[in-house]
Amino acid sequence: MKKVLVLIPVYNDWDSLKKLLNEIDFHINNIKEFEFNCIVVNDSSSENMPVIKKPLNFNFLKVLHMKENKGHARSNAFGLRYIFQNEDFNFVILMDGDGEDRPEELQSMISQIRENPEISVVAKRVKRSEGVFFKSLYEIHKLITYLFTGKKIHFGNYSCLTKKDVGIIHKEPSLWSSYSGTIKKNIKKLNEVNSIRGMRYIGPSKMSLINLILHSLSIIAVFKYTVLFRSFLATLILTIIFPLKNAIYILFLTIFILFNAIIFLVSTRENEKNLKESNNNLDKISDIIH
């Protein structure tokens, strides 16, 4: 029987987590040919963990308690390394703990890995639940990413990875900064399922404008040398079209220089040492048996 391990990072959002676990349990109830397990990464929550019940359709549920808060992306990076080094599994499904990754789409992912067990699956965002402003920024992010990297990245953390692909990415320094960028750079073939961004179970979204911009830049920074090369080519083309002292040429040249400087600065978040030593941040493990 193939083993599927669900990985969920949590910071204080315990009520949402309990609802999510119940929703997952409901939607995997009729999937009998897979064994489901779950690991929750408690990112050093300031609120104590309440009593959590193990869903009936999970063989085990573990909570990994971290000593220091590292953030969502790094909780996922640590979780993937921990799972690869310590757990028996065939697939890992990454989900946010707030309900925005809809549990009803799990069945589509399972259908994909049932048909193509050697290929990881990502949840392609076809509809988002945010307001017009954030949706517009997301479209701008996708356009800039494509222009500077040549990559169409229309997925977030919600995905199902094969054990082989976890083995490929779990040691990549960029995983410490950007999950989706790391996946797109290192995994050559991916299957997709359509995904609608759900509404948070409880409270407003925690994604601020600054965090959204940093998230976007972190993805692009995974391809920093491609960005540099494409900027260089664009500059050469501009020298053919415009005289060197032309105001438009100077404007675009300045933009390219500043953008590359920012991208290389953001890329310093990719820290191989911190990724490899992330196990040192593990405080204790809670096994939820009932």
**181 touches 77 (CB < 8 A):** no
Most confident region among 32-46, 115-129, 229-243 by mean pLDDT: 32-46
Tokens representing residue 211 in the block: 């965090």
pLDDT in the model for residue 234: 93
Its pTM surpasses 0.85: yes
Closest CA to 161 of 102, 114, 113: 113
* Distance from chain centroid for Cα 46: 23
User: pLDDT, tens digit, for every residue of 79-136?
Assistant: 999 999 999 999 999 999 999 999 999 999 999 999 999 999 999 987 655 667 777 8
pLDDT in the model for residue 222: 97
**109 touches 160 (CB < 8 A):** yes
- Residue 289: band (very low, low, confident or very high) from pLDDT cuts 50, 70, 90: confident
**66 touches 282 (CB < 8 A):** yes
Q: Of the ranges 113-117, 151-155, 205-209, 255-259, which one carries the lowest mean pLDDT score?
A: 205-209
- Span 198-207, mean pLDDT? 78
Tokens representing residue 179 in the block: 């999950």
- Residue 243: band (very low, low, confident or very high) from pLDDT cuts 50, 70, 90: confident
Tokens representing residue 120 in the block: 């990881």
pLDDT in the model for residue 166: 98
pLDDT in the model for residue 161: 98
Residues pairing with 62 in the sheet: 39, 287
CA distance 146 to 63: 37
% the chain with pLDDT above 70: 96
**66 touches 43 (CB < 8 A):** yes
Closest CA to 7 of 68, 69, 58: 58
Tokens representing residue 65 in the block: 């308690």
* pLDDT higher than threshold 90 for residue 282: yes
